[in-house]
């Protein structure tokens, strides 16, 4: 047809061809402009009803006048002289540029550019929605980007013709079907929310250069769209913020009721993200401190990771973290002691185990509601649970916890009714400040929890903002059975054993099955996945992604759920994605400023990035809010070891042992400290104390092997390592750690060739972790130490500098590490340690000053 003139359009060249026709570039001889002519399939013309329907749709679309939508100029038909068949065509605005499909095939676009594109697409979709127009075929091939950066959505008015929802079956490619919404894929009637889902697919492509749903054939693709969740965007693009992930995840919700209900809502979200990006870049604002919901397990995870690395590197020392960018620390507590409160475990008057779990759940939920009030200082769960069944008086408890008021209560359940008695007490005088009795149906339980929080705020004259009141009044679920499962899930989760975690996972899944919008249940399940995967190796490493996705699902269901943001931060942290972890956890802290576990996590994540000065105020605040939790002091002791502050390290670690004598990791961190100081006698003494009851364990032998290795007793180290082998877990990480340790010993004991291979393998493994976005300095240090053992000084120095720059490893550790024995006199090695010492000396004084404040 090139060269022909149709009406007053002279056809110049063919632009493309697809399931809905052929497109040519043409010259409008009347108005002297370039246009795009789209000739539609013959079956539309041959069916009078379909033809009339098309005219109706196209006329409606032609009224859509928006800068981000291609304009329809003309609708007509012509008679093909060769076949004498009539054929419909559209004359549309001609757009120069590239389709989004062409752009993403070349590269992953910068976040700023994606946001700019997304805002324009939303603008166009919102304009169409206002006029009641549904596109039905939004895809990256139907969206153009001009050289000046303007977005143009093409083909409005075409997708409702016959076969539009069945394009693949009519011979189109899988590409078009890949953008269908679940309801469209199932042949159901669609509305503007289907366009929002398809736009979500486009967004996912823009951020990852990959489709969210895949299938080798039509049926497989349809199944994926209807039943499967896409991989987390963070797996492919670590620069994407949790907020953007949440937005895309909500746009891709399977149930259209869970999606954004209007393109304007999406537009507002993206404009907010775009503005935030501009502010951060220009330095007008810094990220506000956030306090996400985190649990003690996370601490466990980090420590367990350290212990594994010690076996892995067998030379590694204490688990330390490091600062990152320009975060601001937690605000100073402005509340007086009278505005500080501890919620004692509610007393069960029913006697049944089921009632006991309900009491603990009620305690947790009242505590959570109070934590949402920023003007109060609220002691965390771990510390208050120590007082379950206590005989101590209020003054003793108040002194130990550092609070001015204490809430105590009792619960009795009879059938569907529950009686709750509460009493707020002045800890100093033992005087009642406020008391309330509730005799309600179980369906009113959330109202009781909210009422208690608001009346305590009133009694303590604490400021309660409108947002805080709204968050306190919001019900987490309307389904009491789902709530019961979630309460039980939390109870088992806090027990931290393999079997209990499995039970918790099942309970959270049951809660979600009963209420698919229950954000706290998703958060709980995400935490279980994270903890079980890292701490107990319950699931494969792929469950890291499940933890991320499940937390994102919770955020999608309820963007105000602090627990879900905390769970997401924890999942990111365990993959070593500290930047993302900090972003998610900050959001959690914004939503719940007293969430002790989240505050603690935020401190750890900042320190993990290398920002000790920004992270330690959060760690100090976490300790104040949870003064009887051993993990808080253990984490502080780790940082003091890093800073070579032996006095404070010993003080914090001894306090952790006092609070929890069976917390084995505390002893190991103390051993690390003495190893760094070069005091072998104390290191061995503590190891003996750790296993005073039973020494015939794998942990005992591997600890002694590591200590002997550190102090160059290689024969003994090998002896204990061989004893450890019969206890060696079957997982790959433990085996790799054993092999690399054995390789090191073989090299040191003059059997070089036998030892090189596992070290080379360990280097490759660490490199892969870094390439996948893991920001932990552990892998940098491991690569350095292994290269040093292999005699690769240049590589060893390069990676050692990287580890020390992250402030993850103390110069004193590197100075004593036997891995670097052959480099002791190297000028560059000496210089690196000297610079690291100077940095640590400054940091140590700064942290001491922070603690005094």
* Cα–Cα distance, 105 to 589 (Å, whole number): 38
Pairing label, strands 405-414, 340-343: parallel
* Cα–Cα distance, 584 to 564 (Å, whole number): 9
Pairing label, strands 377-378, 340-343: parallel
How far lies 494's CA from each of 183, 378, 500, in Å?
40, 19, 9
Q: Classify residue 763 as exposed, middle or buried by CB count within 10 Å of its CB (0-12, 13-18, 19+).
A: buried
* Cα–Cα distance, 477 to 470 (Å, whole number): 15
Determine contact, residues 61/72, Cβ cutoff 8 Å: yes
Strands (E), 623-736: none
Cβ-Cβ contacts under 8 Å for 148 (sequence gap 6 or more): none
Cβ-Cβ contacts under 8 Å for 771 (sequence gap 6 or more): none
Classify the phi-psi angles of 615: left when phi > 0, otherwise alpha if psi is within -120 to 50, otherwise beta.
alpha
Q: In this structure, what token pair is assigned to residue 229?
A: 């969740």
Q: Three-class SS of residue 143?
A: strand
Question: What's 69's DSSP letter?
Answer: B
How far lies 344's CA from each of 70, 77, 391, 661, in Å?
64, 79, 12, 23
Strands (E), 317-358: 340-343, 347-348
Cβ-Cβ contacts under 8 Å for 521 (sequence gap 6 or more): 477, 482, 485, 486, 489, 508, 511, 512, 515, 554
* Cα–Cα distance, 405 to 386 (Å, whole number): 17
Q: Which of 28, 123, 137, 195 is catalytic?
A: 137
* Cα–Cα distance, 228 to 223 (Å, whole number): 7
CA angle 577, 583, 585 (to 5 degrees): 95
Q: Three-class SS of residue 713?
A: coil
Question: What's 180's DSSP letter?
Answer: -
* Cα–Cα distance, 80 to 418 (Å, whole number): 80
Cβ-Cβ contacts under 8 Å for 499 (sequence gap 6 or more): none
Q: In this structure, what token pair is assigned to residue 375?
A: 């003007």
Q: In this structure, what token pair is assigned to residue 665?
A: 């990791």
Q: In this structure, what token pair is assigned to residue 604?
A: 């750890």
* Cα–Cα distance, 656 to 640 (Å, whole number): 14
* Cα–Cα distance, 728 to 731 (Å, whole number): 9
How far lies 759's CA from each of 560, 704, 724, 804, in Å?
47, 21, 19, 21
| Helical H segments across 560-611, by residue range | 562-574, 578-591, 596-609
Count CB atoms within 10 A of the CB of residue 851.
14
Determine contact, residues 123/267, Cβ cutoff 8 Å: yes
Classify the phi-psi angles of 136: left when phi > 0, otherwise alpha if psi is within -120 to 50, otherwise beta.
left
Q: Which helix (H) or strand (E) holds 170?
A: none
Cβ-Cβ contacts under 8 Å for 437 (sequence gap 6 or more): 419, 420, 421, 422
Q: Three-class SS of residue 411?
A: strand
- Is 137 catalytic? The answer is yes
How far lies 76's CA from each of 11, 178, 291, 592, in Å?
15, 31, 61, 61
Catalytic residue IDs: 137
């Amino acid at each position: 047809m090139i060269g022909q003139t149709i009406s007053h359009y002279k056809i110049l060249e063919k632009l493309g061809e697809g399931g809905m026709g052929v497109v040519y570039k043409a010259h409008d001889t009347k108005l002297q402009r370039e246009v795009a002519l789209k000739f539609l399939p013959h079956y539309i013309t041959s069916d009078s009803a379909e033809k009339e329907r098309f005219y109706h749709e196209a006329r409606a679309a032609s009224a859509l006048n928006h800068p981000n939508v291609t304009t329809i100029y003309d609708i007509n038909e012509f008679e093909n002289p060769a076949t004498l068949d009539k054929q419909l065509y559209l004359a549309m605005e001609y757009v120069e540029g590239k389709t989004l499909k062409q752009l993403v095939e070349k590269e992953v676009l910068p976040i700023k550019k994606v946001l700019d594109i997304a805002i324009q697409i939303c603008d166009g979709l919102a304009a169409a929605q206002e006029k009641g127009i549904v596109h039905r075929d939004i895809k990256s091939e139907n969206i153009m980007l001009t050289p000046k950066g303007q977005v143009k959505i093409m083909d409005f008015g075409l997708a409702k013709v016959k076969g539009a929802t069945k394009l693949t079956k009519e011979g189109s490619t899988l590409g078009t079907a890949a953008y269908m919404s679940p309801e469209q894929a199932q042949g159901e009637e669609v509305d503007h929310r289907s366009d929002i889902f398809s736009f979500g697919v486009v967004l996912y492509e823009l951020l990852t250069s990959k489709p969210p749903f895949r299938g080798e054939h039509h049926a497989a693709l349809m199944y994926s769209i209807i039943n499967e969740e896409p991989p987390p965007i963070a797996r492919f693009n670590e620069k994407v913020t949790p907020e953007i992930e949440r937005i895309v995840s909500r746009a891709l919700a399977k149930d259209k009721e869970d999606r954004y209900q209007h393109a304007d809502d999406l537009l507002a979200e993206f404009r907010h993200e775009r503005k935030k990006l501009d502010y951060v870049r220009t330095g007008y604002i810094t990220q506000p401190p956030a306090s996400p919901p985190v649990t003690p397990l996370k601490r466990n995870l980090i420590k367990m990771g350290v212990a594994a690395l010690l076996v892995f590197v067998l030379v590694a020392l204490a688990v330390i973290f490091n600062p990152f960018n320009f975060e601001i620390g937690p605000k100073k507590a402005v509340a007086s002691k009278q505005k500080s409160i501890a919620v004692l475990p509610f007393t069960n008057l029913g006697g049944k185990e089921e009632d006991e779990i309900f009491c603990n759940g009620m305690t947790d939920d009242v505590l959570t509601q109070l934590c949402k009030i920023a003007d109060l200082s609220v002691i965390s769960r771990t510390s208050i649970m120590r007082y379950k069944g206590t005989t101590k008086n209020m003054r003793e408890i108040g002194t130990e916890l550092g609070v001015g008021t204490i809430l105590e209560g009792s619960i009795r359940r009879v059938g569907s009714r529950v009686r709750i008695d509460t009493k707020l007490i002045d800890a100093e005088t033992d005087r009642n400040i406020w008391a309330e009795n509730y005799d309600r149906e179980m369906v009113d339980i959330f109202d009781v929890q909210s009422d208690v929080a608001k009346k305590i705020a009133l009694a303590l004259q604490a400021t309660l903002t409108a947002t805080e009141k709204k968050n306190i009044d919001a019900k987490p679920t309307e389904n009491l059975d789902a709530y019961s499962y979630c309460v039980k899930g939390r109870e088992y989760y806090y027990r931290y054993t393999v079997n209990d975690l499995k039970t918790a996972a099942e309970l959270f899944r049951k809660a979600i099955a009963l209420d698919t919008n229950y954000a706290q249940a998703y958060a709980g399940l995400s935490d279980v996945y994270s903890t079980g995967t890292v701490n107990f190796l319950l699931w494969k490493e792929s469950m890291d992604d499940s933890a991320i996705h499940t937390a994102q699902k919770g955020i999608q269901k309820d963007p105000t759920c602090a627990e879900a943001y905390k769970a997401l931060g924890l999942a990111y942290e365990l993959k070593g994605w500290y930047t993302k972890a900090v972003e998610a956890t900050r959001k959690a802290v914004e939503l719940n400023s007293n969430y002790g576990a989240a505050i603690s996590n935020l401190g750890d994540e900042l320190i993990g990035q290398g920002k000790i000065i920004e992270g330690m105020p959060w760690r100090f605040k976490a300790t104040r809010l949870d003064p009887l939790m051993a993990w808080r002091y253990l984490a502080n002791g780790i940082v003091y070891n890093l800073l070579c502050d032996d006095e404070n390290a010993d003080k914090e670690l001894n306090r952790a042992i006092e609070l929890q004598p069976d917390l084995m990791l505390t002893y190991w961190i103390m051993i690390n400290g003495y190893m760094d100081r070069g005091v072998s006698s104390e290191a061995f003494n503590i190891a003996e104390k750790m296993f005073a009851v039973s020494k015939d364990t794998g942990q005992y032998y591997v600890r002694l092997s590591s200590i002997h290795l550190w102090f160059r007793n290689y024969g003994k180290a090998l002896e204990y390592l061989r004893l450890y082998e019969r206890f060696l877990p079957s997982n790959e990480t433990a085996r790799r750690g054993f092999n690399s340790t054995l390789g090191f010993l073989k090299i040191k004991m003059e059997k070089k060739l036998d030892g090189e291979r596992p070290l080379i393998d360990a280097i490759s493994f660490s490199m892969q972790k870094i390439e996948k976005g893991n920001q932990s300095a552990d892998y940098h240090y491991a690569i350095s130490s292994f290269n040093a053992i292999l005699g690769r000084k240049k590589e060893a120095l390069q990676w050692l500098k990287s580890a020390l720059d992250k402030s993850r490893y103390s110069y004193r550790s590197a100075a004593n590490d036997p891995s670097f024995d052959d480099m002791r006199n190297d000028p560059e090695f000496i210089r690196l340690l000297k610079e690291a010492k100077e940095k640590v000396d400054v940091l140590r004084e700064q942290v001491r000053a922070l603690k005094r404040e």
